[in-house]
Amino acid sequence: MDPVIYFDNNATTRLAPEALEAMQPYLTGLYGNPSSIHGFGSQVARKIQAAREQVAILLGAADPVEIVFTSCGTEGDNAAIRGILDSQPDKRHIVTTQVEHPAVLSLCQHLEKKGYRVTWLRVDGNGMLDLDELKDSLTDDTALVSIMYANNETGVIFPIEAIGEIVKARGIPFHVDAVQVAGKMPLNLKQTPVDLLTISAHKFHGPKGVGALYVRRGITFRPFLVGGHQERGRRGGTENVAGIVGMGKAAELALKDKPEEERRVRALRDRLEKSLLESCPDSRVNGDNEMRLSNTLNMSFKFLEGEAILVLLDQYGICASTGSACTAGSAEPSHVLRAMGVPPDWIQGAVRFSLSCYTTEEEVLSVNQKVPSIVQRLSGLSALGKLAKKQELKRGDHGDQVGARR
Protein backbone atom coordinates (compact mmCIF):
# COMPACT_ATOMS: atom_id res chain seq x y z
CA MET A 1 0.00 0.00 0.00
CA ASP A 2 1.05 3.54 -0.72
CA PRO A 3 2.19 5.50 2.35
CA VAL A 4 0.72 8.64 0.77
CA ILE A 5 -2.44 9.63 -1.07
CA TYR A 6 -0.81 11.27 -4.03
CA PHE A 7 -2.58 14.08 -5.89
CA ASP A 8 0.51 15.96 -7.08
CA ASN A 9 1.22 14.25 -10.39
CA ASN A 10 1.83 17.50 -12.28
CA ALA A 11 4.82 18.02 -9.97
CA THR A 12 6.19 14.54 -10.49
CA THR A 13 4.94 10.98 -10.87
CA ARG A 14 5.68 7.60 -9.40
CA LEU A 15 8.27 5.60 -11.38
CA ALA A 16 6.54 2.74 -13.21
CA PRO A 17 7.86 -0.60 -11.87
CA GLU A 18 8.38 -1.75 -15.48
CA ALA A 19 10.62 1.28 -16.11
CA LEU A 20 12.65 0.53 -12.98
CA GLU A 21 13.08 -3.07 -14.10
CA ALA A 22 14.25 -1.96 -17.55
CA MET A 23 16.77 0.46 -15.99
CA GLN A 24 18.35 -1.92 -13.49
CA PRO A 25 20.87 -3.70 -15.78
CA TYR A 26 22.21 -0.29 -16.87
CA LEU A 27 22.81 0.73 -13.26
CA THR A 28 24.73 -2.48 -12.53
CA GLY A 29 26.35 -4.89 -15.00
CA LEU A 30 25.88 -3.00 -18.28
CA TYR A 31 27.91 0.07 -17.39
CA GLY A 32 29.79 0.52 -20.68
CA ASN A 33 30.07 3.96 -22.27
CA PRO A 34 27.79 4.14 -25.33
CA SER A 35 30.47 6.13 -27.21
CA SER A 36 33.05 3.32 -26.84
CA ILE A 37 34.15 1.28 -29.84
CA HIS A 38 34.06 -2.06 -27.98
CA GLY A 39 31.05 -4.31 -28.00
CA PHE A 40 30.41 -3.82 -24.26
CA GLY A 41 29.78 -0.12 -24.93
CA SER A 42 28.05 -0.45 -28.27
CA GLN A 43 25.36 -2.77 -26.85
CA VAL A 44 24.50 0.18 -24.57
CA ALA A 45 24.41 2.51 -27.58
CA ARG A 46 21.92 0.15 -29.23
CA LYS A 47 19.70 0.31 -26.15
CA ILE A 48 19.76 4.12 -26.28
CA GLN A 49 18.74 3.91 -29.92
CA ALA A 50 15.81 1.62 -28.96
CA ALA A 51 14.70 4.17 -26.33
CA ARG A 52 14.95 6.92 -28.95
CA GLU A 53 12.57 4.93 -31.13
CA GLN A 54 10.13 4.46 -28.20
CA VAL A 55 10.12 8.21 -27.49
CA ALA A 56 9.72 9.01 -31.21
CA ILE A 57 6.63 6.76 -31.29
CA LEU A 58 5.16 8.51 -28.23
CA LEU A 59 5.57 11.88 -29.95
CA GLY A 60 4.46 10.66 -33.38
CA ALA A 61 7.78 11.93 -34.79
CA ALA A 62 8.70 11.05 -38.38
CA ASP A 63 12.22 9.89 -37.48
CA PRO A 64 13.94 8.87 -34.19
CA VAL A 65 16.85 11.08 -35.25
CA GLU A 66 14.63 14.04 -34.31
CA ILE A 67 14.87 13.08 -30.61
CA VAL A 68 17.70 14.59 -28.52
CA PHE A 69 17.99 13.29 -24.95
CA THR A 70 18.40 15.94 -22.24
CA SER A 71 18.55 15.98 -18.44
CA CYS A 72 15.06 17.46 -17.78
CA GLY A 73 12.28 19.69 -19.10
CA THR A 74 14.11 22.82 -17.98
CA GLU A 75 17.13 21.86 -20.06
CA GLY A 76 14.94 21.08 -23.08
CA ASP A 77 13.26 24.50 -22.87
CA ASN A 78 16.59 26.29 -22.45
CA ALA A 79 18.26 24.29 -25.24
CA ALA A 80 15.39 24.98 -27.65
CA ILE A 81 15.14 28.71 -26.97
CA ARG A 82 18.87 29.43 -26.79
CA GLY A 83 19.64 27.06 -29.67
CA ILE A 84 17.20 28.83 -31.99
CA LEU A 85 18.25 32.36 -30.94
CA ASP A 86 21.93 31.48 -31.43
CA SER A 87 21.25 30.32 -34.97
CA GLN A 88 19.66 33.70 -35.92
CA PRO A 89 21.84 36.31 -34.18
CA ASP A 90 20.36 39.18 -36.21
CA LYS A 91 16.79 38.62 -34.87
CA ARG A 92 15.95 40.05 -31.44
CA HIS A 93 12.24 39.40 -30.80
CA ILE A 94 10.66 36.49 -28.89
CA VAL A 95 6.95 35.75 -28.48
CA THR A 96 5.77 33.75 -25.47
CA THR A 97 2.90 33.82 -22.95
CA GLN A 98 2.42 35.25 -19.46
CA VAL A 99 1.58 31.80 -18.07
CA GLU A 100 4.65 29.74 -19.02
CA HIS A 101 6.46 27.52 -16.55
CA PRO A 102 9.49 29.27 -14.96
CA ALA A 103 11.75 27.18 -17.25
CA VAL A 104 10.61 29.43 -20.13
CA LEU A 105 9.37 32.48 -18.20
CA SER A 106 12.57 33.15 -16.24
CA LEU A 107 14.74 32.50 -19.29
CA CYS A 108 12.75 35.00 -21.38
CA GLN A 109 12.90 37.56 -18.53
CA HIS A 110 16.68 37.05 -18.49
CA LEU A 111 16.88 37.47 -22.28
CA GLU A 112 14.80 40.65 -21.99
CA LYS A 113 17.48 42.04 -19.65
CA LYS A 114 20.10 41.06 -22.25
CA GLY A 115 18.39 43.21 -24.89
CA TYR A 116 15.80 40.92 -26.52
CA ARG A 117 12.31 42.29 -26.99
CA VAL A 118 9.73 39.86 -25.57
CA THR A 119 6.01 39.89 -26.31
CA TRP A 120 4.14 38.35 -23.37
CA LEU A 121 0.79 37.13 -24.73
CA ARG A 122 -2.12 37.56 -22.30
CA VAL A 123 -4.78 35.01 -21.37
CA ASP A 124 -8.47 35.47 -20.59
CA GLY A 125 -10.38 34.47 -17.44
CA ASN A 126 -10.43 30.82 -18.59
CA GLY A 127 -6.69 30.85 -19.23
CA MET A 128 -7.06 30.88 -23.04
CA LEU A 129 -4.96 32.83 -25.56
CA ASP A 130 -6.25 35.33 -28.13
CA LEU A 131 -4.90 34.10 -31.48
CA ASP A 132 -5.38 37.55 -33.06
CA GLU A 133 -3.03 38.99 -30.45
CA LEU A 134 -0.52 36.30 -31.42
CA LYS A 135 -0.92 37.09 -35.14
CA ASP A 136 -0.42 40.82 -34.52
CA SER A 137 2.69 40.24 -32.43
CA LEU A 138 4.72 38.53 -35.18
CA THR A 139 7.24 40.69 -37.06
CA ASP A 140 10.16 40.19 -39.44
CA ASP A 141 12.40 40.47 -36.38
CA THR A 142 10.69 37.57 -34.53
CA ALA A 143 13.30 34.85 -33.95
CA LEU A 144 11.09 32.39 -32.11
CA VAL A 145 7.64 31.68 -30.69
CA SER A 146 7.65 29.52 -27.53
CA ILE A 147 4.25 28.49 -26.15
CA MET A 148 3.36 25.73 -23.71
CA TYR A 149 0.94 22.95 -24.77
CA ALA A 150 -0.82 22.67 -21.41
CA ASN A 151 -0.46 24.70 -18.28
CA ASN A 152 1.07 22.94 -15.29
CA GLU A 153 -1.05 24.84 -12.73
CA THR A 154 -4.50 24.83 -14.33
CA GLY A 155 -4.18 22.12 -16.98
CA VAL A 156 -5.52 24.54 -19.64
CA ILE A 157 -4.62 23.27 -23.12
CA PHE A 158 -3.63 25.72 -25.85
CA PRO A 159 -4.68 25.04 -29.49
CA ILE A 160 -1.17 24.18 -30.63
CA GLU A 161 -2.12 23.19 -34.21
CA ALA A 162 -3.87 26.52 -34.85
CA ILE A 163 -1.01 28.44 -33.21
CA GLY A 164 1.55 26.49 -35.25
CA GLU A 165 -0.25 27.30 -38.48
CA ILE A 166 -0.16 31.03 -37.70
CA VAL A 167 3.51 30.91 -36.71
CA LYS A 168 4.64 28.73 -39.63
CA ALA A 169 2.77 30.90 -42.15
CA ARG A 170 5.32 33.59 -41.20
CA GLY A 171 8.24 31.11 -41.44
CA ILE A 172 9.12 31.57 -37.75
CA PRO A 173 10.56 28.70 -35.65
CA PHE A 174 8.00 27.36 -33.14
CA HIS A 175 8.91 25.70 -29.82
CA VAL A 176 6.34 23.97 -27.62
CA ASP A 177 6.79 23.07 -23.95
CA ALA A 178 4.82 19.82 -23.83
CA VAL A 179 6.12 18.68 -20.44
CA GLN A 180 2.58 18.35 -19.04
CA VAL A 181 1.15 16.75 -22.17
CA ALA A 182 3.46 13.86 -23.07
CA GLY A 183 1.92 10.65 -21.78
CA LYS A 184 -1.44 12.33 -21.07
CA MET A 185 -2.64 13.27 -24.57
CA PRO A 186 -1.88 11.76 -27.98
CA LEU A 187 0.82 13.61 -29.94
CA ASN A 188 1.38 13.39 -33.68
CA LEU A 189 4.31 15.60 -34.60
CA LYS A 190 4.37 14.26 -38.18
CA GLN A 191 1.24 16.28 -38.75
CA THR A 192 1.59 19.13 -36.25
CA PRO A 193 3.27 22.39 -37.30
CA VAL A 194 5.82 22.40 -34.47
CA ASP A 195 9.61 22.66 -34.90
CA LEU A 196 10.84 21.90 -31.39
CA LEU A 197 9.07 20.25 -28.46
CA THR A 198 10.20 19.59 -24.89
CA ILE A 199 9.22 16.67 -22.67
CA SER A 200 10.40 15.32 -19.30
CA ALA A 201 10.33 11.65 -18.23
CA HIS A 202 9.39 12.14 -14.57
CA LYS A 203 6.03 13.63 -15.58
CA PHE A 204 4.89 10.35 -17.17
CA HIS A 205 6.16 7.68 -14.77
CA GLY A 206 9.73 7.68 -16.02
CA PRO A 207 12.77 8.54 -13.89
CA LYS A 208 13.89 12.01 -12.84
CA GLY A 209 16.95 13.56 -14.49
CA VAL A 210 16.09 12.74 -18.08
CA GLY A 211 14.05 14.42 -20.78
CA ALA A 212 13.96 14.85 -24.53
CA LEU A 213 13.87 17.66 -27.03
CA TYR A 214 12.25 16.99 -30.40
CA VAL A 215 14.01 18.92 -33.17
CA ARG A 216 12.29 18.66 -36.54
CA ARG A 217 14.62 17.54 -39.36
CA GLY A 218 15.97 20.53 -41.25
CA ILE A 219 15.76 22.97 -38.32
CA THR A 220 19.00 24.83 -37.72
CA PHE A 221 19.76 24.54 -34.06
CA ARG A 222 22.97 25.32 -32.17
CA PRO A 223 23.74 23.03 -29.20
CA PHE A 224 23.22 24.47 -25.74
CA LEU A 225 25.64 22.03 -24.07
CA VAL A 226 28.81 22.08 -26.16
CA GLY A 227 31.16 19.16 -25.59
CA GLY A 228 31.52 15.68 -27.07
CA HIS A 229 29.74 14.38 -30.15
CA GLN A 230 26.92 12.68 -28.24
CA GLU A 231 23.40 13.08 -29.63
CA ARG A 232 24.93 13.83 -33.07
CA GLY A 233 26.67 16.90 -31.70
CA ARG A 234 23.38 18.41 -30.50
CA ARG A 235 23.94 17.81 -26.77
CA GLY A 236 27.40 17.10 -25.35
CA GLY A 237 27.88 14.90 -22.28
CA THR A 238 27.90 11.18 -21.55
CA GLU A 239 24.32 9.97 -21.68
CA ASN A 240 22.23 9.12 -18.59
CA VAL A 241 21.89 5.60 -19.93
CA ALA A 242 19.64 4.08 -17.25
CA GLY A 243 17.47 7.22 -17.28
CA ILE A 244 17.10 7.08 -21.06
CA VAL A 245 16.21 3.38 -20.96
CA GLY A 246 13.62 4.10 -18.24
CA MET A 247 12.19 6.99 -20.25
CA GLY A 248 11.86 4.74 -23.30
CA LYS A 249 9.95 2.15 -21.26
CA ALA A 250 7.72 4.85 -19.72
CA ALA A 251 6.99 6.17 -23.23
CA GLU A 252 5.95 2.68 -24.35
CA LEU A 253 3.71 2.23 -21.28
CA ALA A 254 2.12 5.66 -21.78
CA LEU A 255 0.69 4.49 -25.09
CA LYS A 256 -0.83 1.31 -23.64
CA ASP A 257 -4.60 1.40 -23.05
CA LYS A 258 -4.48 5.16 -23.48
CA PRO A 259 -8.08 6.15 -24.37
CA GLU A 260 -9.62 3.94 -21.65
CA GLU A 261 -7.07 5.11 -19.11
CA GLU A 262 -7.68 8.75 -19.95
CA ARG A 263 -11.46 8.25 -19.61
CA ARG A 264 -11.01 6.61 -16.21
CA VAL A 265 -8.77 9.41 -14.88
CA ARG A 266 -11.13 12.09 -16.29
CA ALA A 267 -14.12 10.43 -14.57
CA LEU A 268 -12.27 10.38 -11.24
CA ARG A 269 -11.19 14.02 -11.65
CA ASP A 270 -14.76 15.05 -12.56
CA ARG A 271 -16.16 13.22 -9.54
CA LEU A 272 -13.66 15.00 -7.29
CA GLU A 273 -14.50 18.36 -8.85
CA LYS A 274 -18.27 17.95 -8.58
CA SER A 275 -18.14 16.73 -5.02
CA LEU A 276 -15.81 19.52 -3.80
CA LEU A 277 -17.87 22.22 -5.53
CA GLU A 278 -20.99 20.87 -3.83
CA SER A 279 -19.52 20.41 -0.38
CA CYS A 280 -17.43 23.63 -0.18
CA PRO A 281 -19.78 26.61 -0.72
CA ASP A 282 -17.15 29.28 -1.47
CA SER A 283 -15.21 27.33 -4.07
CA ARG A 284 -14.52 27.68 -7.80
CA VAL A 285 -12.54 25.92 -10.54
CA ASN A 286 -9.72 27.83 -12.22
CA GLY A 287 -9.23 27.08 -15.93
CA ASP A 288 -11.30 26.28 -18.97
CA ASN A 289 -13.80 23.47 -18.50
CA GLU A 290 -13.36 21.81 -21.92
CA MET A 291 -9.78 22.62 -22.91
CA ARG A 292 -8.22 21.15 -19.77
CA LEU A 293 -5.98 18.14 -19.08
CA SER A 294 -8.10 15.22 -17.90
CA ASN A 295 -5.99 14.76 -14.74
CA THR A 296 -5.91 18.35 -13.45
CA LEU A 297 -8.20 20.22 -11.06
CA ASN A 298 -7.21 23.68 -9.83
CA MET A 299 -9.70 24.97 -7.25
CA SER A 300 -9.85 28.16 -5.22
CA PHE A 301 -11.42 28.44 -1.76
CA LYS A 302 -12.50 32.03 -1.07
CA PHE A 303 -10.62 33.99 1.65
CA LEU A 304 -8.46 30.95 2.51
CA GLU A 305 -4.75 30.26 2.11
CA GLY A 306 -3.97 27.33 -0.21
CA GLU A 307 -0.83 26.58 1.80
CA ALA A 308 -2.85 26.19 5.03
CA ILE A 309 -5.12 23.69 3.27
CA LEU A 310 -2.06 21.76 2.03
CA VAL A 311 -0.54 21.60 5.53
CA LEU A 312 -3.76 20.15 6.95
CA LEU A 313 -4.15 17.72 4.03
CA ASP A 314 -0.58 16.60 4.64
CA GLN A 315 -1.57 15.51 8.17
CA TYR A 316 -3.80 12.90 6.51
CA GLY A 317 -1.03 11.88 4.11
CA ILE A 318 -2.72 13.66 1.19
CA CYS A 319 -0.26 15.37 -1.17
CA ALA A 320 -1.48 18.24 -3.36
CA SER A 321 0.01 21.56 -4.41
CA THR A 322 -0.74 25.24 -4.74
CA GLY A 323 0.51 25.16 -8.33
CA SER A 324 3.93 24.94 -9.89
CA ALA A 325 6.41 22.82 -7.93
CA CYS A 326 9.00 25.49 -8.59
CA THR A 327 6.98 28.30 -6.97
CA ALA A 328 5.49 26.30 -4.10
CA GLY A 329 6.74 27.73 -0.83
CA SER A 330 6.92 31.26 -2.20
CA ALA A 331 4.50 33.80 -0.76
CA GLU A 332 3.84 35.29 -4.21
CA PRO A 333 0.43 34.47 -5.63
CA SER A 334 0.53 32.34 -8.77
CA HIS A 335 1.55 34.29 -11.90
CA VAL A 336 -0.82 32.07 -13.89
CA LEU A 337 -3.89 32.90 -11.81
CA ARG A 338 -2.90 36.57 -11.77
CA ALA A 339 -2.66 36.58 -15.57
CA MET A 340 -6.16 35.04 -15.67
CA GLY A 341 -7.46 37.88 -13.50
CA VAL A 342 -8.57 35.60 -10.65
CA PRO A 343 -9.94 38.04 -8.01
CA PRO A 344 -7.79 38.78 -4.92
CA ASP A 345 -10.23 37.05 -2.52
CA TRP A 346 -9.74 33.81 -4.40
CA ILE A 347 -6.17 33.82 -5.63
CA GLN A 348 -4.38 32.80 -2.40
CA GLY A 349 -6.80 29.97 -1.80
CA ALA A 350 -5.81 27.92 -4.85
CA VAL A 351 -5.06 24.22 -4.55
CA ARG A 352 -4.13 21.92 -7.44
CA PHE A 353 -5.11 18.26 -7.41
CA SER A 354 -3.43 16.26 -10.18
CA LEU A 355 -4.23 12.59 -10.75
CA SER A 356 -2.47 9.77 -12.61
CA CYS A 357 -3.16 6.28 -13.92
CA TYR A 358 -2.32 4.99 -10.42
CA THR A 359 -5.02 7.12 -8.70
CA THR A 360 -7.79 4.99 -7.19
CA GLU A 361 -11.47 5.61 -6.36
CA GLU A 362 -10.69 5.14 -2.66
CA GLU A 363 -8.12 7.93 -2.84
CA VAL A 364 -10.61 10.29 -4.49
CA LEU A 365 -13.13 9.39 -1.80
CA SER A 366 -10.60 10.16 0.88
CA VAL A 367 -9.89 13.65 -0.56
CA ASN A 368 -13.62 14.23 -0.95
CA GLN A 369 -14.08 13.48 2.73
CA LYS A 370 -11.16 15.46 4.12
CA VAL A 371 -11.22 18.71 2.11
CA PRO A 372 -14.67 19.99 3.20
CA SER A 373 -13.90 19.62 6.91
CA ILE A 374 -10.51 21.33 6.45
CA VAL A 375 -12.14 24.16 4.50
CA GLN A 376 -14.84 24.53 7.14
CA ARG A 377 -12.24 24.65 9.91
CA LEU A 378 -10.11 27.26 8.12
CA SER A 379 -13.17 29.33 7.17
CA GLY A 380 -14.08 29.47 10.87
CA LEU A 381 -10.57 30.65 11.76
CA SER A 382 -10.61 33.17 8.95
CA ALA A 383 -14.02 34.53 10.13
CA LEU A 384 -12.70 34.79 13.70
CA GLY A 385 -9.64 36.60 12.39
CA LYS A 386 -11.83 39.13 10.60
CA LEU A 387 -13.93 39.66 13.72
CA ALA A 388 -10.84 40.26 15.85
CA LYS A 389 -9.56 42.73 13.29
CA LYS A 390 -12.88 44.59 13.31
CA GLN A 391 -12.76 44.83 17.11
CA GLU A 392 -9.21 46.17 17.01
CA LEU A 393 -10.23 48.80 14.47
CA LYS A 394 -13.18 49.75 16.69
CA ARG A 395 -10.70 50.28 19.56
CA GLY A 396 -8.91 52.78 17.25
CA ASP A 397 -5.84 50.56 16.87
CA HIS A 398 -5.80 50.83 13.07
CA GLY A 399 -2.42 52.09 11.76
CA ASP A 400 -0.27 49.01 12.44
CA GLN A 401 -3.10 46.56 11.86
CA VAL A 402 -3.85 47.70 8.35
CA GLY A 403 -0.14 47.67 7.54
CA ALA A 404 0.27 44.18 8.93
CA ARG A 405 -2.57 42.93 6.82
CA ARG A 406 -0.71 43.96 3.69
* Catalytic annotation, residues: 326
286-289: long-range contacts, CB 8 A cutoff, minimum separation 24: 286/127, 286/153, 286/154, 286/337, 286/340, 286/342, 286/350, 287/126, 287/127, 287/151, 287/154, 287/155, 287/156, 287/340, 288/126, 288/127, 288/128, 288/154, 288/156, 288/157, 289/126
Q: Exposure pattern of 80-112 as b/e (b: 16+ CB <10 Å)?
A: bbbbbbeebeebbbbbbbebbbbbbbebbeebe
User: Binding residue for ligand PLP (CB under 6 A) from 200, 300, 321, 327?
Assistant: 200
205 near ligand PLP, rule: CB under 6 A: no
CA distance 217 to 195: 8
Q: Which of 180, 283, 295, 322 binds ligand PLP (CB under 6 A)?
A: 180
For ligand PLP (CB under 6 A), the number of binding residues is: 14
Half-sphere exposure of residue 272: CA atoms within 13 angstroms, side-chain side: 30
Does position 288 bind ligand PLP by CB under 6 A?
Answer: no
Site membership for ligand PLP, residue 296 (CB under 6 A): no
Closest distance to ligand PLP from the beta carbon of 362 (Å): 27
Q: Where are the alpha helices (DSSP H) in 98-240?
A: 102-113, 131-137, 160-169
What is the footprint of ligand PLP within residues 351-380 (CB under 6 A)?
none
Neighbours of 132 (CB within 10 A): 9
- Per CB under 6 A, the list member of 80, 163, 179, 254 interacting with ligand PLP is 179
User: How long is the chain?
Assistant: 406
Does 197 bind ligand PLP (CB under 6 A)? Our answer is: no
Alpha-carbon span 366 to 363, nearest angstrom: 5
Using the contact rule CB under 6 A, the part of the chain among 53-61, 172-180, 217-225, 253-261 near ligand PLP is: 172-180
148 or 299: CB nearest ligand PLP: 148
Which of 9, 13, 78, 152 binds ligand PLP (CB under 6 A)? It is 152
| Interface with ligand PLP, residue 348, by CB under 6 A | no
Applying CB under 6 A, which part among 52-60, 66-74, 269-277, 296-304 lies near ligand PLP? 66-74
Q: For residue 353, what is the DSSP state?
A: E
Considering only the stretches 13-21, 175-183, 297-305, 308-316, report the one whose residues sit in contact with ligand PLP under the rule CB under 6 A.
175-183
Q: Which of 19, 55, 72, 215 binds ligand PLP (CB under 6 A)?
A: 72
Residues of span 311-330 touching ligand PLP by CB under 6 A: 325
Residue of 177, 239, 288, 307 interacting with ligand PLP (CB under 6 A): 177
Angle, to 10 degrees, between the axis of helix 102-113 and the axis of helix 73-86? 30
Shortest separation between residue 356's beta carbon and ligand PLP, angstroms: 14
- Supply the minimum distance, in Å, between the C-beta of residue 386 and ligand PLP: 35
β strands within 349-390, DSSP E: 350-354
Question: Quick one: 195 exposed, middle or buried, by C-beta within 10 A (0-12, 13-18, 19+)?
Answer: buried
By Cβ distance, which residue is nearest to ligand PLP?
73
Q: Indicate which single residue of 6, 48, 69, 73 sits in contact with ligand PLP (rule: CB under 6 A).
A: 73
Binding site for ligand PLP (CB under 6 A): 72-74, 77, 101, 103, 148, 152, 177, 179-180, 200, 211, 325
